[in-house]
Structure 1
Amino acid sequence: MDNLEAGKETGSVAGANADLAAVLAAGRRSRGRRWRGRLILLVLLILAAAAATYFYMGRSRAEFSYTTQPVKRGDLTVLVTATGSVQPTQQVDISSELSGTMRDVNVDYNSTVKAGDVLAVLDTNKLEADVKSSRAKLNSAKANVVKANADLQSAATSLDRLKSLVKSNVSTQQSLDDATYKYDSAVAAKDINEADVLASEANLQLAEVNLGKAKIVSPIDGVILTRSVDPGATVAASLSAPVLFTIAGDLKKMELQVDVDEADVGQIAVGQKASFTVDAYPDRTFPAVIEQIRFASEVVNNVVTYKAVLSVDNADLLLRPGMTATSDITVEAVKDTLMVPNAALRYAPPQTEARGGRGIFSLFRPPRPSRSGGADSTLSGTQRRVWVLRNGHPAPVVIQVGSSDGQFTQVTSGEITEKDAVITDAAARTN
């Protein structure tokens, strides 16, 4: 009886444990279902946000407006621009080698002169007196030579006579020695006086040269550009003598001196053609040809330049010395070539547009750096990427480029034609 009751009690405990285990298992299943529901809800929210973002970006792509320019064919001219001034081919500063008072001035500004024409004359009173004095000294020296010759002849005669007397024992040796001394002295006096004649002749020649220098003459044919002296002015000759006149050579042939930047000097060469303008005639261009490129550099405001000299025909005398000029040197001329605007080489589409059409999962990828200026690490040498508008969307085209004039660049090869329009800019539309 006791055993029967004990069995019943054991069965009751086992049943209770089973019920408790069932309750606990049911609780765990309920919590698992709740977590799965929350996870599914979170995934749905993420997908909804991604879809909304994708939809918004798709709308953004559709709202870009593009600025395009047509690919064109034509002539391309590569220019190097440089500034400088118009100068005479020959220019001479005239000064005086002598000091004195200016007596006459025979020319004025713009006077046309020939080589040898007298421009001005210094007062010659002192110079003429110097010539007369030098001539008188020369005449005196010549007279002294005549006297010295006579003295020499007399001394020679006396010496010969005494030599005969000494041989005949009529005269003494002392008398012969004295005669010999007088003869030698006469020879020396003759040489001295002849040297004085040479010195006097040189002094006279110098005085005459100085008298000739009182006349200031033109060394070249040309035009008087400046005159800085008037009659009566005192001229002081020194190592830094003042310039009295500036004469320019034939103004029908001028030269243009321009400063070429060191970055451009490698592109220019002797014989290249150029055109230039001056402020006096802004609507007119003048032709020129490079005649010289100087090796010496010039540094102005820390900018290194090289002087190029261009020959200019000035037959109509419109150009004047010192005029400021801006020149365009033609370094290359390409005929009938395909060209794209330089703005197309610098353009890169917005990043959202460039990534368009790759699906919603592209939103979860890390962003790529956008291209700049049409450059790309995958391109080499003269390859460039431009973007052509096709079906309302930008499409990349790789081209090979050549020369550029700063606005357009030559296309030497690539899948692009005159029918294409390249994108140069893009802007978002506003609703």
Structure 2
Amino acid sequence: MIITRSLAWIRLHPVISGFIALVVIALLYKLIVPAAQSYEYVAEPVSRGSVARVVSASGKLRALNTINVGSEISGQVTDVYVDFNSPVTAGQVLARIDPTRIQARVTQARAQVASAQATLAQAEASIIRAQTDFEVQSREFERQKQLADKGFVSKAGIDQARNALANARAALSTARAQAQSGRAQIAQSEAELSSAQLDLNRTRILAPTSGVVINKLVEPGTTVAASFQTPNLFEIAADTSRMQVEASVDEADIGQVRVDQLVRFTVDSYPDDTFVAKVGQIRKSATEEQNVVSYLVILDVDNKEGKLLTGMTANVEIVTGTKTNVLRVPAPAIRFRPRKSDRPDEDKDQQEQSGNSDEEKQKKARTAQIWIAGDDPYEPTRRTVTIGLAGEDFVEIIKGVEEKEKVLVRSRNLENDDDEEEDEFARGNT
């Protein structure tokens, strides 16, 4: 009866009946067929290969041995014989300081030496005269003494001869003392001459070693003042075929750095080239800047091609650990978490693990959660894996997955034409 009435009503109202039928069909379609998702997960396969753990830092290139060449005397620079990047050899004249004033000192010192030598010659002549007089007086005293013993000379005559002998002895001592003073005067004058001659030689600024001039701080006409400290005039890189990188490593990473570790670095001048170095020294003195503590690590660099120049900024990666032919997953897979709607059992699992002991917590620190792609792209399976060496690009997996299984690494928004990654889910946030 109800069906008969319904059919009769449909025949009387065909337009309204058709509209109601369309609405019912649309509702049924919406309930039966799921709505298209606005996102999808990107998966990558588990593979075998190398894993490298690196410490990133930055630093400046320096010459292996940089020598500052200065001046020990004051004066005006009259000549400069080298320029930037000039190759020099040990002993080569780099510049010259006006020698006029110092040359006058040398002349004066030589005159003082000559005067002292003349004084010494006079003193030595006086010694000869005094010696002769002393010998004459000695013989005369002996004669007077013999005559006195025979009674031919009075006591006054003996006293007079003795007095003459004493005066001759005193004159000889005085002459010898004057000669000694003359020798001392000569030594002093010669020392002053040597000092003046040394300063004269220092007016010629010489290269202490062979190398390349990397900095020039003086020009002709510059006045050099060396009163309180030695002014630097040039900087010479002794050997540019070998250089150093002074890298500043954060205190959180310095514990992983060891001497002789492999280092890769790039410079802005050659962005497509990767240079190789090794850790040569770890400075134990800390540097603090804006409450950030870092340590200086010295890297030894081979620069036989001559591409690297002092002062370049190096972007450094210190390889602190490597493993080859190990099972690995992309590093983002360790951090990535699917949308909360696609992992409904996670809260339950977390409650079960909330009362872990210390041993279990330590074990948990060596494990990680990754998500395996399933048949349904929006129903991934969570997997607990044991991790080994963690690198910047890949993480070693000791156990928990098989090779070629696909792990989720990020989420992609299908509504963006440029196919940009959704950062919120790529970071693993809910």
TM-score of the superposed pair, with normalisation by structure 2: 0.74
CA RMSD of aligned residues (A): 3.3
Measured in 2, the distance between the counterparts of 1:185 and 1:238 equals: 43
2:61 match: 86
With over 3 angstroms needed to count, the CA separation of the structure-2 counterparts of 1:81 and 1:146, relative to structure 1, is same
Matched, 1:204 2:179: no
Which one is further off, 392-401 or 343-352?
Answer: 343-352
Alignment partner, residue 399 of structure 1: 385
Deviation at 1:194, TM superposition (A): 0.9
Identity of aligned residues (%): 32
Q: Tell me the equivalent position of 1:318.
A: 307
Measured against aligned partners, the alpha-carbon deviations of 1:99-123 in whole angstroms (never above 9, x if no partner) come to 1122221112221111100011112
Q: 1:322 offset after TM fit, Å?
A: 0.4
Q: Which of 389, 392, 406 does residue 421 from structure 1 map onto?
A: 406
CA–CA separation in structure 2 for the residues paired with 1:194 and 1:321:
55
Tell me which amino acid in the other structure corresponds to 1:265.
Answer: I
Alpha-carbon distance in 1 for matches of 2:256, 2:89: 41
User: Which amino acid in the other structure matches residue 203 of structure 1?
Assistant: E
* Contact kept? 1:155, 1:182, Cα under 8 Å: yes
Question: Shift of the alpha carbon at 1:282?
Answer: 1.3
Segment drifting more, 113-122 vs 310-319: 310-319
Describe the SS at the equivalent of 1:244. strand
Query: Which residue matches 2:95?
Result: 120
The Cα of 1:381 is off from its aligned counterpart by: 4.7
More displaced 10-residue stretch of structure 1: 158-167 or 187-196: 158-167
Cα deviation, residue 348, structure 1? 5.3
Task: Give the 5 Å matches for 1:112-261.
Answer: 112-167=87-142, 168-169=144-145, 170-171=157-158, 172=160, 173-261=162-250
Q: Does 1:385 align with 2:369?
A: yes
State whether residues 331 and 391 of structure 2, in contact with CA within 8 Å, keep that contact through their aligned partners in structure 1: no
Structure 2: segments with no counterpart, 5+ residues: 1-30, 146-156, 355-359, 416-430
CA drift of 1:354 comes to 5.4
In structure 1, how many angstroms separate the alpha carbons of the residues matched to 2:128 and 2:282? 73
**Which residue identity is paired with 1:342?**
A
- Superposed CA deviations along residues 322-372 of structure 1, whole A, max 9, x for unmatched, are 011101122222112111233433355677765659xxxx9xx9x94999x
Contact 1:351 1:370 (8 Å CA) reproduced: no
State how 1:258-297 maps to structure 2 within 5 Å.
Answer: 258-297=247-286
Q: Distance in 2 between matches of 1:112 and 1:100?
A: 26
Partner of 2:266: helix, strand, or coil? strand
Structure 1 gaps, min length 5: 1-55
Which whole-Å deviations, capped at 9, do the CAs of 1:197-230 have from their partners, x for residues lacking one? Answer: 1111111111111111111111111122222322
The alpha carbon displacement at 1:409 in A equals: 1.3
Residues 365-417 of structure 1, C-alpha deviations (whole Å, 9 max, x = no match): 9x94999xxxx859445133333344544444332111111342111123x11
* 1:68, distance to aligned residue in structure 2 (A): 3.7
What does the per-residue CA deviation read over 1:221-243, in whole Å, with 9 as the maximum and x for residues that have no partner? Answer: 11222223222332221223432
Q: Is the 8 A contact 1:348 1:370 kept in 2?
A: no
Tell me how far 1:266 sits from its aligned partner: 2.0
Q: How many residues align?
A: 361
Once residues 63 and 275 of structure 1 are traced to their aligned partners in structure 2, the CA distance between those partners, rounded to angstroms, is: 41
